[in-house]
Every structure is written in C-alpha cells, then in structure tokens.
Structure 1
Amino acid sequence: MLLDFRPHGRLRAKEPVDLATSLTPVVAALSESTLDLARIRVVCDWIQYRENFREVVDVRPVLPPPPRRAGDHGPVPTPAAVREHDLEIAVDVRRSGQVALREVTAESLRAESAGRIYLEDWGPGSASCIWEFNALYWSALELWEKATGRGYEQALPGGESDARNRDAARELVTELFHGWDALAAAGALPDELFVVELGVGNGHQAKVFLDEFRRLDEEGGGGYYRRLQYLMCDYSQHVLDLAAETVAEHGERVSAMALDATRPLTSLGFLKYKVFLVYISNVYDNLPTDEVAQLGGRTYRVDTRAYLPAEAADGLAASIGVPTGQLAGLVQSLLRLGPALLCEMAPERFPTVEAAVEFWRRAWSAVRLQERYVPIAGLDEYRLAPDLSGEILRPLLESGADLRMHVNNGALRSFAESLALLHPFGRLICHDLFVTGLQDYRATFRGPGKYDGSVVNWVNGPLMAHLARRKGFDVHYEPFRHRQGGNIVTMTAQVRD
C-alpha cells in the first residue's frame, strides 16, 4: 500500500492536521476488505474550495494497459520498475473529521455508485458537462446574479479582481509608452496602436487602464490616446454590454467583440503580429482542461463522469415533482436550452424562469465527478489541442516522483493563438492562478473547484512556459506586485531577445 499525504505543510500549521485522524480509519477499512493491499494507493488532499466536485472519500479505479493488438503474440510486457495499482482511495482531509471516516470508506468500497444519477459517459475532463454548466453560467449570468443577489466578482477572494488595481495599470501603461517612444524615435511606430483584453469582466479593469492611459498621455504629450484601438473581448454578451457601459466615456477608442477565449484567432486573425498588448485576467483558470498523471512508472489520463449523489438527486427530483430517473434528461435540456427556454419546454415543472434558475443552481451545487485513471499508450497519440501532441508533456511527467497535473487544454490553445497576435515588440500579460513549480502539484490540491456557478482550475505554469519557448517566447512569473497575501501570479510573455 502506498500512502501519499500531500498537505504536509499543514502538519506544522498553527492548528495542525492530525495525520492519524485522516489516515488510520481509511487503512482500517481497507484492511477489512478483500482487496490486494499491495496494489492500493491512498492519497490525501486538502480541498480548499468549499464548493467542489469531490466526496470526502472517492474511489478511483486504475485501469490496466490495453491488451495487445491483433497479430501480436504473448502477454504485454511490464516495464522494469513499474508499480502496478488497482485502486486509488482519495481523502479530503479538510472534511474527513466531519464524518465517520472508517464507515464512509467501507461504504465507498462496497457500493461506490449506488443511487447515483449519471449525467454523462466516461471521457476526458475537458469534455465533461461541467464545462457546459460553466458556459451556461457566463451566457445566462444576468439570471444567476439576479437569483443570488450579487455580482460574480463578489465570489472572488476579496470580492474583486486584482486586474482593476490602479497602480498596476499605471505601471503597465508607463512600460507601453516607453517602448512606443523608442519605436516612434526610429520612425517604426504604426498609426494604430492595438491593445486586446480577453475576459473583460464588468469593464472596470478596462476603465482603470483607459483612464490612466489618457491621463499619462496628456502629461507626456505622446499623442498615443487618439491612436489607441482597445478591443474588449469576452464570451458573454451580457458581460460585454456591462463593460461597454462602464467605459462609455472612452467609446471612440473601444470596440467590443464576443469570442471563444480558447480560439482568439478565429475572430482576431486580422490583428496577427499587430497587437502591442494582450491583457488577460482570471480567464485561463476557467477554461476546459484534462488532467494527466505519472503513477508508478505509467502515464495515465484522468477520465471523469459527472453525477448527482443519491440523496441530492432524490431531493432535487422531489422539488420539481419528477421521478429521479428523469433528472439526467432535464439537466441535459437545461444545458442545451438555458433556463428561459427550459421553462417554456416544461412549464408544468418550471412555471417561471426563476424556478428554472433555482433548479439550475441546485443541480450545479450537487454535481460531483467520478474519476478513473486510463493508461496512455503513447504520448504522441494524446492530443492536447488539434495541432499539439502530448509529447510536449514528457519532460514534465518524467521529472521525478509520481505526479498528477493539469493540461489546461483550453488555456494552452488560447495562449498559443494569442502569442501569434503579438507585434514583435508586444507582450502578453496575464494575472491568474498559476502553478509555477511542478512540486506544487505534489503538495497542494489545484482544482477543479466551484466559484459561484463556474469552474476554476489552477494553470500549469511550467507547461505554458515550455510551449512558449518552443514558439520563440520567454515567459516570466512573479507574484502580483500590488496586493499582499493573494494567490494571483502575473505571467509575462514576449519574444525572446
């Protein structure tokens, strides 16, 4: 049996975690089972997101390698030093003291899926319906905010985004002007100065930037403001409409564009090599991602399927007067149609839009993810994006001990396409939840979690930097300079000198 206790920093915290309380009941339940204990992994995490997709104890099958193809002979050889596993038992240490852990573990081993309502089949994490929930949140944000009585930014730690920090905007504009002054002196500055913001939120960041830009331009006399073309881009038209109102006084300098953040070139291809600044804040952590793992010398993809736990499913079905077995179909209709059309399709169940939104919110709160490890035959056969092979993962996965990490498929594609927009003297600035060292994945849970109605995962910084280097860009990470104690990291990417 392999025991992997990841939140080791909490063993010496002000209120230290009791290791025995988190592990002994689990080991006791396993010892009473008929499982081969030599092929079991027990993994303990501290799930910091109070809303998440995990049970206190989850059982994750570790699937064997596929059989040989037709025409091959003999058994599949096991590489030297490979450690074979059948199951991973995952424990949330933060909640483990709130339940009868031994009994919960034993029940999970006996009847793991009893009464669950599955919303989808097995598949990679990036294809899960949780991302349809995520898209619904942004497309119907106005209805969600009305139901909760608060704006989405209030769900962020601190109640607002670091992007609106005025000192940070002033520093960024000053650096832009310094570069433009040099280009202007050489007669190489274009007539139009393009800045692109992906994920504009309610527009407050754009307003802070534009206010500082105009003020500093008036002081310096560079005449840059009248040449500025600021493009606000977001998935949600509701968000864009709010942002447009916020920056109305800069209307002549601003354009708004709805686009898929994972494919910016589809809408912005006309700006290839013309953009001096691509600015992104808290977007990459909200894009679809797979997870991959290196366990015992084998490489795996983490497959998932979303479900509603039995007790939550019974309560949700009773609240709208339907058999529990109909829930999966209604959830799929919600994700396909949205709450407004759902109440038109089934007025007997959802007499008002507000009733449909309440069903949406309760379903989202209840959704969990079942997981399993599926062997990857070869990294060259795994696609991170249409034009990106899994071979890029090899130096990270084979960097040492067992590792499970995010691939951030959507963010990688967005990042690669955004780099193609940059002028040779341009930069990409991103504030987000970045993992900056692979060792962080071995010590701390990095998602997925739930922020209000959306999904959040930390972003694999070493992987983003590796991709950038292959494309001729340097990447630098540093903690956000203008607020102490937060988790936000600033990534800067620019053409390698």
Structure 2
Amino acid sequence: MNSGPPALAALGDFHPADTWQVHVNHIFYGTKGPGIHNHFQTYVSRDHRLAHALADAFHSFCQSLPADDTAPLEVQEWGVGNGNLAARFLSRLRDIDSTGCAYPRLQYTLCDYSLEILKGVEANPHLQDHAGRFATAHLDARDMGGLAPHSLTWVLSNEIWDDLATRVLIKSQGTLYEEYLQPLIDRAVLDGDFETFLNRFENADLEALQAQPPFLEHIVWERAFQRTDLGDWPFGEVVRQHMESIGDDIPVPINAGAFGTLEKAHRLLAPGRSFGYTGFDYGMLDLEHLNWEGRPYFKLYGGQYTSMVNFPLLADVGRAIGFQNVDREPQHTFVHRNLGEPVISLVELVQNHPRVAEMAPWDVDVLMLETLQALNNRYRSPYPNRLDYPTLPGTPKKQRKLMQQLIQNMNARGVPDTVAYITESEVRAADKTLRKLGYREKDIQRSFHPANAAIQFCRLTLR
C-alpha cells in the first residue's frame, strides 16, 4: 500500500507575507553566508559587462562636474554579493580615468547586513587590487541612521529589493485583500527534537540552525488572504492609486522594504552633485506586465524567499519621496547601449536550442559547455577566470567525463559564466560551430528578439 503525503508540522502561525519573508531570509543569509552563491547566479556574479557599463556612465558624470569640485566621491553599494561587481567597476574606472577626475577621489563602500557575506567579500582577491579605494560596512540598506545627510555621490544596488520585505495585495470587486503565509515542514527532514528545532527557528538561532541538515528548501508555504486597510501602510495613498490600475484577482507585490532604501538614498545623496540611486533587479517593468494574468510574483532559491519587484510602484514612490527624474528600462537595454550592440546570456541562447526541452539535464549541461566552447573562439574577457561548473548528482559517467574534458579545455579568458553577457557579433562569429551543435538561424534570432515577457531584469535610476 502506498503511504500518503507526509503530515506537515506548522513552524508558526499565519502572518503577512513580509513578516515570514524577512524571517526566513535572515536565516538563509545568516546560515549560508557566502554559500548562498551556490543557489543562484546573477549577471554580476562573475561577469564584467554590467560593471563596465556602470563605470563608463559614472565616469561621464564625473567629467561633467565643475573643475573646482575636488570633494571626495562617496559611493555605496547596498547588498554586495560576492564583491565581483565592485571589483570590475573599480578596475574599469581606473583604466578609463586618464585625467584622474574619478578614481583617485573615489571611496567605494560595500554595505551589507550579513557579516558572513562581508567576510566573503573581504576575501575576494580581485578587490585587493584596489586597496585604499574600498571599504566594507555592516549596515542595513533600510536603516535611516549612520551617515550624514547629503553625503553620498551615488548609491548602487543589485538584486536586493527582491529579498526585502514585500507585502502582497489582491483586488477583488473593489476590495483589497492582503496575502498571509504560514510555513510548514515534514518533521522527517529535521535532526533531533521538533520542539527544540521550533524554538531555534522562531528565535533565528543561527549558530544552532547551521548544525541542522538543510531544511529551508523543505518548507511548504500555505497561503490565505485577508481583507486589509491601507491606512497604516507606508505610502498607503500611492499604493491605493497604484492598485486602481490593476485588474481583479491578480497578486501584486508591494515592495515595502524597497521603499525604505529609496527614502534612505534620497536622504543621503548630495543635491546638485549626485549620480542618483541605481538599482537592478527582476520583476515587472510596466503596468502591462503587472496585469499579466498568471505571472509569478515570488520565487524560492534553496529556501530563500524572493519577491518580484514592482518597478512602476517603486517609480511612483520615488517621485513621492522627492526624486525629480526617474528612469527605468530592461537591464539588457542598458548594457546594449554601452556596448553598441544587442546582448543576451548564454542561458538565453541555450534555452532557444530546438531540442533542449527534450534533453536530459546532464545533456543540457554538455550542450551548455559545448556552446561556451564555440563562443570562446571569439569572446575575450579582460580578466582571467576559472569556469566553475559542477556536475549534477546522477550524471552518467559518459557525460561526466565529457564535461570534465570540456571544462579543462576552456579558454582562461572565455565566457566566465552561464549568466554572462555575450554580444550578437560574438554569437555570429561562432555561427558555423553553433550550426553543428543544432542551432538554427531562427533560434539565434529568437534569442536576440524574444517575445515580450512579464518578468525581466530591469534597471531603475532615481535622481
């Protein structure tokens, strides 16, 4: 006789979605530390092209400052990842700053609320090339204390808004309802007494939870909706007006934690000599995407609970705070403009291969590496790198051996990651080899001209 599904035990009561998201993400970052990078990749984890585009734009801004402006250029990055974005930004700025208008005056501070993440950043060897130009700081991007008002030249963040407290609203027949969550888990995945674990989970006892077998990815989220009043919500009137443009029964993320970062940036940026606040994240770029029925509004990465970013609402809140100029666009467009030609990631190219949907996961890995090798005949990174591509559990011996051979033969200055920007000319230069791998012209065309998507990587700049 087949046993039924496991009986799930509650890890707490129903609370608004942001309450549980903040709690679980605190545990995730506090127990994983730099190991979080094993669960997801971003466009700045190993690549340099987004960092270079930012350095070029920042350098142009510095050149536009008055000649008698010799004050330090104070830059803060909020949410630092593995430090690669800062390292590549600083290297590019140093290389292009022939007049000394930017790099010698720069103080770049990497800020994060996780001490474990900061320890990993401080060990990044590429940052050591810029000793004296950077520092680290243990702080929360939403905390309004600390630095003096109007002291910063620029604030930068990459994929932090999706991690911050996010409430969820649904409108139905003119009434607003808020999403509530309850975490459940199968006791069998835990080690030791459940009540002891529950106490450690409720109190976020990070040291004790680190000793547990992996459990965050086993949490099951129960959902419910309760009628709500926006009277005590941050920027409640802006949120109310925003919801008037949303159709019925569509879950809408309200990135309240991100509101705090906008307020803090507005307070800290120096009027008249500020490059603004630039944030990158993934979510809905405009109202069309927000009203897209069935689009996702959250994701789970190894137990981390992330929310899609509502860019139109952040833009409205930014204006309400006092930013005069608010600009948003797809991240690919920003990098395209810097390089002068369209860009995609390797993953996007492989996803458009005609047979990828029917391939076993390890065969997709082989295709990924073969595609990388084809592109490396033209692609040249300014930075040497070692491609890290672990094999999946269960990969057959034949594919495992082939993957090891492909990795060993990779160009040290080739494409650094599967999530790295590659240009159309680099893809076209590999056209003959890509054809042998099964790519067709229409597959390449579709990669560079994809159908409209509800969720995109986007840039928001507020000045």
| Both structures adopt the same fold (TM-score exceeding 0.5) | yes
Task: Report the equivalent of 2:281.
Answer: 432
What is the DSSP-based 3-state SS (H/G/I as helix, E as strand, rest coil) of the residue aligned with 1:303?
A: strand
What is the DSSP-based 3-state SS (H/G/I as helix, E as strand, rest coil) of the residue aligned with 1:357?
A: coil
Query: By how many angstroms is 1:337 displaced?
Result: 5.2
Q: Partners of 1:468 and 1:340 in 2: how far apart?
A: 38
Task: Report the equivalent of 2:260.
Answer: 413
Query: By how many angstroms is 1:290 displaced?
Result: 1.0
Matching of residue 357 in structure 1 with residue 212 in structure 2: yes
Task: Report the equivalent of 1:174.
Answer: 56
CA-to-partner distance for each residue in 1:151-192, whole Å, 9 max, x for gaps?
A: 433422xx443365433323322222222222233x2x2421
Matching of residue 252 in structure 1 with residue 163 in structure 2: no
Query: By how many angstroms is 1:407 displaced?
Result: 0.8
Indicate which of 145, 149, 152 corresponds to 2:36: 152
Task: Report the equivalent of 1:394.
Answer: 240
Q: Partners of 1:281 and 1:494 in 2: how far apart?
A: 14
What is the DSSP-based 3-state SS (H/G/I as helix, E as strand, rest coil) of the residue aligned with 1:184?
A: coil
Q: Partners of 1:132 and 1:168 in 2: how far apart?
A: 31
Task: Report the equivalent of 1:203.
Answer: 83
Matching of residue 476 in structure 1 with residue 320 in structure 2: no
Task: Report the equivalent of 1:465.
Answer: 315
Q: Is the Cα contact below 8 Å between 2:251 and 2:297 reproduced in 1? A: no
Matching of residue 445 in structure 1 with residue 329 in structure 2: no
Query: By how many angstroms is 1:339 displaced?
Result: 5.2
Runs of 4+ aligned residues of structure 1 deviating over 6 Å after TM superposition are none
Q: Is the Cα contact below 8 Å between 1:140 and 1:338 reproduced in 2? A: no
Indicate which of 192, 205, 209 corresponds to 1:338: 205
Structure 1 pair 173–357 and aligned structure 2 pair: CA distance change class (3 A): same
Q: Is the Cα contact below 8 Å between 2:150 and 2:270 reproduced in 1? A: yes
What is the DSSP-based 3-state SS (H/G/I as helix, E as strand, rest coil) of the residue aligned with 1:286?
A: coil
Matching of residue 183 in structure 1 with residue 65 in structure 2: yes
Letter paired with 2:43: S
Task: Report the equivalent of 1:140.
Answer: 31
Query: By how many angstroms is 1:243 displaced?
Result: 1.3
Identity of counterpart residues, as a percentage?
22
Task: List gaps (5 residues or longer) in structure 1.
Answer: 1-103, 108-113, 146-150, 343-352
Q: Partners of 1:340 and 1:368 in 2: how far apart?
A: 23
Q: Partners of 2:253 and 2:195 in 1: how far apart?
A: 28
What is the DSSP-based 3-state SS (H/G/I as helix, E as strand, rest coil) of the residue aligned with 2:258?
A: helix
What is the DSSP-based 3-state SS (H/G/I as helix, E as strand, rest coil) of the residue aligned with 1:294?
A: strand
Task: Report the equivalent of 1:30.
Answer: none
Letter paired with 2:205: G
Task: Report the equivalent of 1:28.
Answer: none
Task: Report the equivalent of 1:125.
Answer: 17
1:225-374 alignment to 2 at 5 Å? 225-246=103-124, 247-263=127-143, 265-267=144-146, 269-270=147-148, 272-308=149-185, 312-313=186-187, 315-316=188-189, 320=192, 322=193, 327=194, 329-334=196-201, 336=203, 338=205, 340-341=207-208, 356-358=211-213, 361-362=214-215, 364-374=216-226
Structure 1 pair 372–341 and aligned structure 2 pair: CA distance change class (3 A): closer
What is the DSSP-based 3-state SS (H/G/I as helix, E as strand, rest coil) of the residue aligned with 2:297?
A: coil
Q: Is the Cα contact below 8 Å between 1:134 and 1:455 reproduced in 2? A: yes
Structure with larger Rg: 1
- Work out the number of aligned pairs and report it: 336
Indicate which of 446, 452, 458 corresponds to 1:490: 458
Letter paired with 1:494: L
Structure 1 pair 168–116 and aligned structure 2 pair: CA distance change class (3 A): closer
Structure 1 pair 436–184 and aligned structure 2 pair: CA distance change class (3 A): same
Task: Single out whichever of 164-173 and 391-400 deviates more from structure 2.
Answer: 164-173
Q: Partners of 1:340 and 1:200 in 2: how far apart?
A: 22
Query: By how many angstroms is 1:234 displaced?
Result: 0.9
Task: Report the equivalent of 1:101.
Answer: none
Task: Report the equivalent of 2:435.
Answer: none
TM-score by length of 1: 0.62
Q: Partners of 2:32 and 2:296 in 1: how far apart?
A: 25
Query: By how many angstroms is 1:221 displaced?
Result: 1.6
Q: Is the Cα contact below 8 Å between 2:286 and 2:311 reproduced in 1? A: yes
Task: List gaps (5 residues or longer) in structure 2.
Answer: 336-342, 349-454
**RMSD of the TM alignment (CA)?**
2.6
Q: Is the Cα contact below 8 Å between 1:164 and 1:208 reproduced in 2? A: no
Q: Partners of 1:170 and 1:176 in 2: how far apart?
A: 10
Q: Partners of 1:253 and 1:453 in 2: how far apart?
A: 35
Q: Partners of 2:221 and 2:43 in 1: how far apart?
A: 28
Structure 1 pair 400–430 and aligned structure 2 pair: CA distance change class (3 A): closer
Task: Report the equivalent of 2:413.
Answer: none
